[in-house]
Amino acid sequence: MRTGQCHCGAVRYALEGEPMHHTLCHCSDCRRHAGAPMVGWAMFKSDQVKLGQGEPKVYESSETGRRHFCADCGTSLFYTNEAMLPGITDIQSATLDDSDALPPSAHIQVADRIAWMKDVHLLPEFARYPGQ
Ligand SMILES: [Zn+2]
Ligand SMILES: [Zn+2]
């Protein structure tokens, strides 16, 4: 069973079985809510998602979209939309305890992508910081 949590650990969750898919979303709503250039989402049926402890706060990010986050540390955790995705919970995959174990399979919403994100794999890399 996969597990994950917010940054402070107040909210923990577990996931039964496999996701329908795992994608990297470039839409402007995800970017702004996460404060990050893209967001990984693993899509599960809501009954596969078990809250271990804590209760996320729910933000109405659109008419029917709901973003669930830790009210203590602010980490974004889940997305639900009962109008468009009934019975589905998207898990913000970077909150998994073992993110390496669930690689994504596609980029989505690239129509919204920040232009320079297309070539970020070409940037120089440092194991920690430059000069170390
Ligand atoms: Zn937290
Ligand atoms: Zn998105």
Residue 62 has a pLDDT of 94
Q: Which ligand is in closest contact with the Cα of 57?
A: 1
pLDDT one-digit tens code per residue, 81-124: 999 999 999 999 999 999 999 999 999 999 999 999 999 999 99
116 C-alpha vs ligand 1 centroid, how far in Å?
Answer: 31
Residue type, 12: R
Q: What is the mean pLDDT of the chain?
A: 97
Residue 132 reports pLDDT greater than 90? no
Q: Which ligand is in closest contact with the Cα of 111?
A: 2
User: Quick one: average pLDDT of 41-46?
Assistant: 98
Give strand pairing partners of 106: 23
132 C-alpha vs ligand 2 centroid, how far in Å?
Answer: 35
pLDDT above 90 as % of the chain:
98
Hey, what's the torsion of the CAs at 57, 62, 65, 66, to 10 degrees?
A: 0
* Sheet containing 57-60: order of strands: 57-60, 66-69, 76-81, 85-92, 39-45, 21-25, 106-108
Quick check: 56 and 11 in contact, CB under 8 A?
Answer: yes
